[in-house]
Amino acid sequence: MTETTAPLLSPLELHADRISDPALQPIARKVAAGERLDALDARALYATSDLIGLGTLADFANRRQNGDRVWFSANQHINPTNVCILRNTCTFCSFARMPKEEGAYTRSLEEVYHEAAQATGTPTREFHIVGGLAPKLGMDYYGEMIRGLKARHPEVHIKALTAVEIAHIARVDKITPREVLIALKDAGLTSMPGGGAEVFSTAVRATIAERKLTGDEWLAVHREAHLLGIPSNCTMLYGHVETADDRIEHLTALRALQDETGGFLTYIPLAYHPENNELGEELGRVGTATTGYEDLKNIAIGRLFLDNIPHVKTHWPMVTPFMSQIALAFGCDDVEGTVVFERIYHDAGATTELGMSYGALVGLIRDAGKVPMERNSLYEPVRSDFSELDIPRGGDVRRTLPVVHAA
Ligand code: V47
Per-residue pLDDT of the chain in tens (407 residues, 90 and over written 9): 444 445 544 568 888 889 999 999 999 999 999 999 999 999 999 999 999 999 999 999 999 999 999 999 999 999 999 999 999 999 999 999 999 999 999 999 999 999 999 999 999 999 999 999 999 999 999 999 999 999 999 999 999 999 999 999 999 999 999 999 999 999 999 999 999 999 999 999 999 999 999 999 999 999 999 999 999 999 999 999 999 999 999 999 999 999 999 999 999 999 999 999 999 999 998 777 799 999 999 999 999 999 999 999 999 988 889 999 999 999 999 999 888 888 777 887 787 878 888 998 999 999 999 999 999 999 999 999 998 887 776 655 544 444 343 33
> How far is the C-alpha of 235 from the C-alpha of 222, rounded, in Å?
12
Which letter does DSSP use for residue 245 in this model?
H
> How far is the C-alpha of 123 from the C-alpha of 254, rounded, in Å?
32
Ramachandran sector of residue 247 (left: φ over 0; alpha: ψ -120 to 50; beta: rest): alpha
Nearest atom in ligand 1 to 130's CA? 10
**pLDDT value for 288:** 73
Domains and CATH numbers, the chain: 56-398 (3.20.20.70)
**pLDDT value for 396:** 53
Sheet holding 381-383, edge to edge: 232-238, 264-271, 311-314, 334-335, 69-73, 371-375, 381-383
> How far is the C-alpha of 175 from the C-alpha of 399, rounded, in Å?
49
User: Which residue lies with its CA nearest to atom 4 of ligand 1?
Assistant: 195
Q: Report how far ligand 1's centroid is from the alpha carbon of 3 (Å).
A: 27
User: Which residue lies with its CA nearest to atom 5 of ligand 1?
Assistant: 93
User: Which residue lies with its CA nearest to atom 18 of ligand 1?
Assistant: 315
Ramachandran sector of residue 287 (left: φ over 0; alpha: ψ -120 to 50; beta: rest): left
Q: Report how far ligand 1's centroid is from the alpha carbon of 48 (Å).
A: 27
273 lines ligand 1 (CB under 6 A): yes
Q: Cβ(202)–Cβ(215) under 8 Å?
A: yes
194 lines ligand 1 (CB under 6 A): yes
193 lines ligand 1 (CB under 6 A): yes
Say what the pTM is. 0.93
